[in-house]
């Protein structure tokens, strides 16, 4: 059963997830004017909570939201974790919005919500995914030229991301890698792209307008301890096809191997995936 902790003016309160708590005029609901994070919790231990809260604060700054109080969000996280009675793994959503439209006190909305992880997500960790590339319609320099577009903020405005995943399903795939107008690689709708070539891991740089990945950073940290080299640099679709292993990293799916790209089978990366996953898990 979901577990909900509300952030109120006086602190954090455990609440009934089946009872309404957010006003219909909330700008997060009406306009997607808010931010969120998804934290993986395993055996009651949140993974990469510090980086997630730092990214929440970064997104808040990008969207001109009041600075989230770290201690309060840590308390909300602990409240959900302490009251969780479900499976050993949980997806913890941290949601922060601008609050109800027209509120004279400009009160924001914040809550932490613990949810079970869907079975298809668990299967993807071991079976891998089929991916297509889709044009995102932006160039790599747009984020720096037009910061008001909020490229790289983890906002609630995920309509494009979800539409891309539906398009993938229509084409018989399960996920997407976005590309820029120059053909370079960006990210997935809910993930970062990781490429293995030899004993080096690569991912794309955040300055091109993508979300800095918490799990990607954890995988790179673990890989470096295991003797790998890591690099953050631009990638092309050709780099993905020619890699020894192509992976998508995200908090709940961890490191997921890609076995098919644009309908073309990729080299078997099962052994690489197992090695990198073991290194990642050893971090915790």
Pairing assessment for the beta strands 129-135 and 109-115 based on DSSP bridges:
unpaired
Residues 96 and 137 in one domain: no
- Provide mean pLDDT across the span 47-55: 98
Calculate the alpha carbon distances from 20 to 14, 77, 229 in Å: 13, 20, 49
CATH of the domain at 232: 3.20.10.10
Residues 106 and 128 in one domain: no
Domain limit, last residue, from 117, 152, 185: 117
Residues 33 and 99 in one domain: yes
Q: Is the per-residue pLDDT at 106 higher than 90?
A: no
- Average pLDDT over the chain reads 97
The rounded distance, in Å, linking the Cα atoms of 284 and 276 is 14
Tens-place pLDDT, residues 130-151: 999 999 999 999 999 999 999 9
Residues 83 and 149 in one domain: no
Residues 92 and 160 in one domain: no
Residues 277 and 147 in one domain: yes
Q: Count how many domains the chain has.
A: 2
Confidence of residue 1 (pLDDT cuts 50, 70, 90): confident
Range of the domain at 259: 122-282
- Provide mean pLDDT across the span 147-171: 96
**DSSP string for residues in the chain:** --EEEEEETTEEEEE-TTS--S-TTBHHHHH--EEEEEEEEETTEESSHHHHHHHHHHHHHHTTPPPP-HHHHHHHHHHHHHH--S-SEEEEEEEEE--BTT-TT---EEEEEEEPPPHHHHHHHHH-EEEEEEE-S--TTHHHH-GGG-TT--BS--HHHHHHHHHHHHTT-SEEEEE-TTSBB--BTTBEEEEEETTEEEE--GGGT-PPPHHHHHHHHHHHHTT-EEEE---BHHHHHHSSEEEEEETTTEEEEEEEETTEEPPP-HHHHHHHHHHHHHT-
Output the pLDDT for position 103: 85
Residues 109 and 127 in one domain: no
Domain limit, last residue, from 117, 132, 161: 117
Residues 30 and 147 in one domain: no
Show Cβ contacts of residue 53 under 8 Å, excluding neighbours closer than 6 positions.
37, 68, 70, 73, 74, 94
Q: What does the block give as tokens for 222?
A: 């673990």
Residues 71 and 186 in one domain: no
Q: Is the per-residue pLDDT at 178 higher than 90?
A: yes
Residues 131 and 271 in one domain: yes
CATH of the domain at 89: 3.30.470.10
Tens-place pLDDT, residues 186-242: 999 999 999 999 999 999 999 999 999 999 999 999 999 999 999 999 999 999 999
Contact between residue 37 and residue 77 where contact means Cβ atoms under 8 Å apart: no
Residues 102 and 211 in one domain: no
Residues 162 and 224 in one domain: yes
Give the global pTM: 0.95
Domain limit, last residue, from 53, 84, 117: 117
């Amino acid at each position: 059963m979901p577990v909900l902790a509300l952030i109120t003016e006086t602190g954090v309160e455990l609440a009934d997830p089946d009872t309404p708590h957010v006003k219909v005029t909330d700008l997060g609901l009406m306009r997607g004017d808010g931010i969120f994070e998804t934290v993986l919790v395993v055996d009651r231990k949140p993974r990469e909570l510090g980086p997630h809260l730092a990214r929440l604060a970064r997104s808040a700054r990008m969207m001109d939201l009041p600075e989230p109080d770290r201690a309060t969000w840590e308390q909300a996280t602990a409240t959900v974790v302490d009251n969780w009675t479900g499976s050993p793994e949980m997806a913890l959503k941290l949601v922060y919005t601008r609050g109800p439209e027209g509120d004279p006190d400009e009160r924001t909305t914040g809550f932490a919500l613990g949810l079970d992880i869907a079975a298809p997500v668990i299967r993807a960790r071991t079976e891998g995914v089929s991916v297509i590339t889709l044009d995102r319609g932006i160039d790599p320099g747009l984020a720096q030229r037009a910061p008001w577009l909020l490229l790289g903020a983890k906002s609630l405005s995920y309509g494009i991301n979800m539409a891309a995943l539906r398009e993938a399903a229509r084409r018989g795939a399960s996920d997407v890698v976005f590309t820029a107008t120059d053909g370079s690689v960006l990210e997935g709708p809910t993930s970062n792209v990781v490429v293995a070539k030899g004993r080096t891991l690569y991912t794309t740089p955040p300055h091109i307008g993508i979300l800095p990945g918490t799990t990607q950073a954890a995988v790179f940290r673990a890989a470096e301890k295991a003797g790998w080299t890591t690099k953050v640099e631009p990638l092309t679709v050709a780099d993905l096809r020619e890699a020894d292993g192509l992976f998508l990293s995200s908090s709940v799916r961890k490191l997921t191997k890609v076995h098919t790209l644009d309908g073309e089978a990729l080299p078997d990366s099962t052994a690489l995936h197992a090695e990198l996953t073991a290194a990642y898990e050893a971090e915790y």
